[in-house]
Structure 1
Amino acid sequence: MKNQLIFLFSFLFFFAQAQLQENTWYKVSKITDGDTFYVMTKNSEKFKIRLIGIDAPESYNVGKKFRKEYFGKEAKVFATNLLKNKKVKLTFDVQKTDRYGRILAYAYLENGVFLNQYLVENGFAVVATFPPNVKFVEVFTKAEKSARNKKLGLWK
């Protein structure tokens, strides 16, 4: 059974990566919360994207593990205003998926804004890096410090 699960996760990992290319523009199809959204390929395939290195407050209750958090609704609205009907370019780090099957990515808006950093520097997310995906930890740490000092977003 364990070997079958390993095979299944390996297959899903490679299948998902084969469908999403780095530095390619994808249309955002749905925003789940402040750090998670869906993109759609040209073939109308949808993939759930989780932004690497940051954590936005939960905007709704999900089972027993994830509970709605302070400033969660505001973080989702902020992300929605940035992403709705837009395209994003994705880049990846070492680990490509998380234990929930989401694609882990850094995202860039069409105007060049680095989305992960922008959410943190405006106080709608905090730094949350998990090795081996630590490429931008210094960037995110500096952005969070700035948001705290300026009392932006959840730091008000």
Structure 2
Amino acid sequence: MRSLIFFLLLLTGCANYQNTQRPDLSKLETYKVMRVVDGDTFWVDDGSEKGMKIRLLCVDAPELRASRYKEKGAYAEEASEFLKELIGDQFIKLEYDVQRYDQYRRVLAYAYLVDGTFVNGELVRDGYAKVVTYQPNVKHVDFLVELQKQAQRKRRGLWK
């Protein structure tokens, strides 16, 4: 009986944590996804000719291509494909943190599908991305770290 009570309390605590972290989606801007670049970057239609490039906050997926800064990463194609399947040709809502842009002028955001699915969290939970922080943008880092621990325990994706 004690085990059951503990389990229920644990579930309630996790549910409350998620609910307190989730923004009011009705207040977030909605955009149509135009194109996925890789496992943590994509373009949305903001009404401009080119669109708006989004870099997901607090996650880092392996690089699809080598650059002068990073090597091509193992599991990069899988991460990119996962993000395409998750958000491709859909509407998403964007939540911002302290800084709106990075040094490359990409918009930094947390993304949600219109059904409330936390895109950044799905990438981490399924092992397609690691948690990475760039102060001061850390609004959801605690929740993402918990998801990463789960992915590691279950040996998902990058943690196989």
- Structure 1 distance, partners of 2:118, 2:84, is 15
Matched positions, count: 134
Instruction: Map 1:126-145; keep pairs closer than 5 Å.
Output: 126-145=130-149
- Structure 2 distance, partners of 1:41, 1:100, is 18
2:120 alignment partner, SS class = helix
- Structure 2 distance, partners of 1:27, 1:137, is 26
Match in the other structure for 1:18? none
Match in the other structure for 2:91? 87
* TM-score in terms of structure 1 length: 0.82
Identity of aligned residues (%): 43
CA RMSD of aligned residues (A): 1.3
Match in the other structure for 2:56? 51
Q: Deviations over 1:99-125 (max 9, x none)?
A: 111000000012210111111011000
Unaligned runs of at least 5 residues, structure 1: 1-21
Deviation at 1:42, TM superposition (A): 4.0
Q: Higher mean Cα deviation, 93-102 or 63-72?
A: 63-72
- Structure 2 distance, partners of 1:151, 1:122, is 9
- Structure 1 distance, partners of 2:75, 2:62, is 6
* TM-score in terms of structure 2 length: 0.80
Instruction: Map 1:2-81; keep pairs closer than 5 Å.
Output: 23-42=28-47, 45-61=50-66, 63-81=67-85
Unaligned runs of at least 5 residues, structure 2: 1-26
- Structure 1 distance, partners of 2:53, 2:128, is 20
Q: Radius of gyration: which is bigger?
A: 2
1:155 matches 2:147 = no
Deviation at 1:142, TM superposition (A): 0.1
Moved over 6 A (4+): none
Q: Deviations over 1:64-93 (max 9, x none)?
A: 113210101110000011111111100100
